[in-house]
């Protein structure tokens, strides 16, 4: 898949801001400061599309981006301690509503390849399994490890999240490692969505 242009659409603070689209909807989730914005910018092939920050917990809305063949939803980061309980509960309600009310084609669940996945990371993947949402684990910041240690990092993340190593893609926003692999996966997702839509149209009564 080639991304020719990616643009910001809108932000949603609650369910009233959720968008409806005929394109496949891809959700990106992960703990605060795991590198969601950098990952999105890497996919777009340019910096500045999603705002990055050294301060965790900056993303407090659901941000929608149009990537051409698909729509991407950047979800608020979870697990940031320096946020009030009320704010955390607000984020939780927003995420619950999003997953309940959105037709999601695929989820990218991000985890830092350098560390053991957190309890929140595990809870998120367990939720995706329970709801049968198709997902791929994106192991971020692979450039922070020696190349010889990346495979071990992928294995560690896969084991902790109880998913196959083939369902974990190591990426680096700095070196663009993993970008083509993710884009190839997205190409398959979009192709299957298009085939499903065409099959539905053919089955509609005249």
pLDDT tens-digit profile of 117-141? Answer: 999 999 999 999 999 999 999 999 9
More confidently predicted of 199 and 60: 60
- Percent of the chain with pLDDT strictly greater than 90: 68
Q: Which CATH number fits domain 7-181: 3.40.190.10, 1.10.10.10, 3.40.50.300, 3.50.50.60?
A: 3.40.50.300
Of 47, 106, 110, 99, the C-alpha closest to 77 is 110
| pLDDT for 41 beyond 70 | yes
CA distances from 166 to 129, 137, 183 (A): 16, 9, 15
Residues 138-190: pLDDT tens digits?
A: 999 999 999 899 999 999 999 999 999 999 999 999 999 999 999 999 999 99
Mean pLDDT, rounded, of the chain: 88
* 3-state SS, residue 39: helix
Q: What is the pLDDT of residue 80?
A: 62
Residues 90-103: pLDDT tens digits?
A: 777 888 899 999 99
pTM for this entry: 0.89
CA distances from 124 to 51, 69, 121, 127 (A): 23, 26, 5, 5
């Amino acid at each position: 898949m080639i991304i020719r242009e990616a643009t910001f659409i809108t932000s949603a603070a609650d369910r009233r801001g959720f968008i409806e689209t005929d394109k496949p909807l891809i959700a990106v989730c992960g703990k605060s400061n795991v590198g969601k914005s950098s990952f999105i910018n890497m996919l777009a092939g340019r910096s500045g599309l999603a705002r990055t920050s050294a301060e965790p917990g900056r993303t407090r809305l659901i941000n929608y981006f149009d990537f051409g063949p698909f729509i991407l939803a950047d979800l608020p980061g979870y697990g940031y301690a320096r946020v009030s309980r009320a704010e955390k509960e607000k984020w939780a309600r927003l995420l619950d509503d999003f997953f309940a009310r959105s037709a999601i084609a695929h989820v990218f669940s991000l985890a830092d390849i350098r560390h053991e996945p957190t309890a929140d990371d595990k809870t998120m993947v367990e939720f995706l399994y329970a709801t049968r949402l198709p997902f791929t684990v994106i192991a971020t910041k692979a450039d922070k490890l020696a190349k010889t240690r990346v495979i071990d990092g992928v294995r560690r993340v896969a084991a902790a999240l109880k998913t196959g190593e083939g369902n974990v893609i190591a990426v680096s926003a700095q070196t663009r490692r993993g970008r083509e692999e993710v884009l190839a996966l997205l190409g398959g997702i979009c192709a299957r969505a298009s085939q499903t839509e065409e099959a539905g149209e053919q089955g509609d009564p005249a």
